[in-house]
Structure 1
């Protein structure tokens, strides 16, 4: 008897159908994220998303229940990408400093992508409180990983003594803001933007180390 997954069968195997459906669902979400980023969540309708995909509105409902679910999934995917950035580079460098640089680079690049950009430009505010709680737990995970890397760096002596909480907020906040002003057709690539931003965050604007000593007390 011929297996239903063989190429000679007129029917696709269940796994193949599921893979195809998931690919189409991601296409719906990615198109929606791009629309939200460009037009705003409240100004984007399911009709707008359907037109961009060149499908009917009922087709959208085959993959998602409503617009709120679309936003939740877009932000969730973006946050999971950011959360996994540290996992992808863990152990790739012998020092916390090198690992922190690698995480920052991936973070900066992710926020120039459709889902990562949606996390910053739209976020979870339009969602229900329950959905916001779920997404905020992911944000806390990202923050904890930044803090642990900074704490490790301080302990290793490769990062200057500082408040890890403030440092993590500053780094993540600065890198996240890239999503607000980045334009795909701009003069700099995501790689270039990441490199310059990280250099400024790690080395500062002062020409020499002594120029940064009076920040707390002013002139």
Structure 2
């Protein structure tokens, strides 16, 4: 059976409506399918992401504009007994915590750079799986390459942005690496803002 594709338009709806509408479609799926949910706020993205992951779907999201977000759920070989229709729908107002992640390199740890790249990609993916998301992620020096064209982590970083995480990349760093026109996610920032963001954070995590 070929992959089925569905679109759920939940723009203008408040929680739990986007989740309820999507669950209704998800619970009726058999086999492989992709559901694209259109919403207009970050909280809906967060709740849909939680529901989709709980249901065993592969979930990604992207911020199209300040009032348009797409949440994509992919399910594989879903069977008739895989249903969560009776489960209670829970709405969580916000799942961001008072901490900032500072990424200053495209690799994680010291030793082998190729291994470091794999570890960094895994780290950023792991951030998308946290119960409590960071308030902001700062990318500077070599870390600036992760938010630009060709980065293996773009999908995960875009998903974090769609869930309300502020993504900021150092403008001086982009210019130094010749990537000023290659930024794919988030906004350009400066050293004053980076310093202020770090100073105000309840906790700073540095991979």
**Into which bin does the TM-score normalised by the smaller protein fall?**
under 0.3
Provide TM-score, normalisation by structure 1: 0.25
| Rg larger for | 1
Greater helix content: 1
Structure with more of its chain in strand, by fraction? 2
Normalising by the residue count of structure 2, what TM-score does the alignment of the two structures yield?
A: 0.26
